[in-house]
Amino acid sequence: MIRRDHRLADGRTLSWLEKGDGPPLVLLHGWSLSAAAFTELARLLAGWRLLLPDLPGHGQSTPPVDVSLPSLADDIAAWLAAVAPEPVLLGGWSLGGMVAMELAAKAETPVNRLLLMATTPRFTSDSTWPHGLPAIQVRALRRNLDRRFEATLGEFFALTFADGEVDAERLRTIRAFAVRPGGLPDRQASAAFLQLLAEQDQRPLVAKIGCPTLVVHGTLDRITPVAAGRALAAALPRGRFYELTGAGHAPFWTRPPDVAQAIREFCTWDR
């Protein structure tokens, strides 16, 4: 893969990994990680020009000025306008999926198809949305991040997997390619992103997403419950749900061939 950098209008840097040729496929990673999260999956996706950005405040990208989903989407849109102005297949995992939804709802963003992995329109639960984490749990995570930054990141990473989903050797492999190359995220931005997750509610946005959308979700996801993925797919005007039995929050780590095949099949759906 080739590492490239783009200078945003305000002077900040957005860094990305690029590989291959063909129609552009953009994948946005989740909270506290980086584009490196997708390096193994990328090897299974021949035939695309893969564009894997580090979200602001993650990997080698400069922290954001404003931590909000619209602001993050604006940064990605500005980068895409410079490096891939044609229609793209846009994918996002978890937080990256939330940013992807924001982008896909913009009429001026050329998103041809949308792929959402372990994504939810509302991260926390309330009386109108039972499919999230309790707000008190997210607040506790925020407090722990201040007190024990690296340990809390490690605990959140462990939640990515369902009980017994991976053995120790596979876990070491995932850490080696997906976690260590990206390094630690910016401390201040990480805390601000957690606050964003605590407040996020994109349910009013979903009806504005008109492109074909595939929602991929593991049945044993401990961070975004599978019921959130089902509800999201049902609410999307052109949504389809793909469920991975026994998978946790990152099925592209534990079931990469299945996810790659789902992406390939999705690109022939509804044509």
> What CATH code is carried by the domain that includes residue 25?
3.40.50.1820
List 15, 32, 34, 94, catalytic entry: 94
List 74, 75, 186, 221, catalytic entry: 221
Active site residue 221: yes
- Specify if 187 maps to a domain: yes
Q: Which of 42-51, 76-85, 107-116, 219-228 is least confident?
A: 107-116
Q: How high is the pLDDT of residue 254?
A: 97
- Average per-residue pLDDT for the chain: 95
Host domain of residue 204 = 2-266
- Specify if 44 maps to a domain: yes
Q: What is the pLDDT of residues 51-70, one digit of tens each?
A: 999 999 999 999 999 999 99
Q: What is the pLDDT of residues 203-248, one digit of tens each?
A: 999 999 999 999 999 999 999 999 999 999 999 999 999 999 999 9
Q: What angle separates helix 187-199 from helix 135-147, to the nearest 10 degrees? A: 170
- Specify if 45 maps to a domain: yes
- Specify if 271 maps to a domain: no
Q: Which of 6-15, 17-26, 89-98, 262-271 is least confident?
A: 262-271
CA 38 to chain centre: 10
pLDDT at 5 over 70: yes
Q: Which of 137-141, 155-159, 174-178, 236-240 is least confident?
A: 137-141
Question: Which DSSP helix (H) or strand (E) runs through 7?
Answer: strand 2-7
- Considering the chain, what percentage of its residues have pLDDT values greater than 90? 93
- How many Å apart are CA 26 and CA 91, to the nearest integer? 6
In this prediction, residues 94-104 reach a mean pLDDT of: 97
Active site residue 58: no
Q: Can you point out the beta strands (E) in 118-267?
A: 213-218, 239-244
- Specify if 251 maps to a domain: yes
Q: What angle separates helix 149-159 from helix 135-147, to the nearest 10 degrees? A: 140
- Specify if 128 maps to a domain: yes
- Specify if 13 maps to a domain: yes
- Give 26's pLDDT tier (boundaries 50, 70, 90): very high
Active site residue 249: yes
pLDDT at 173 over 70: yes
Domain count, the chain: 1
SS3 141: helix
- Specify if 146 maps to a domain: yes
User: What pTM was estimated for this model as a whole?
Assistant: 0.96
Q: How high is the pLDDT of residue 270?
A: 46
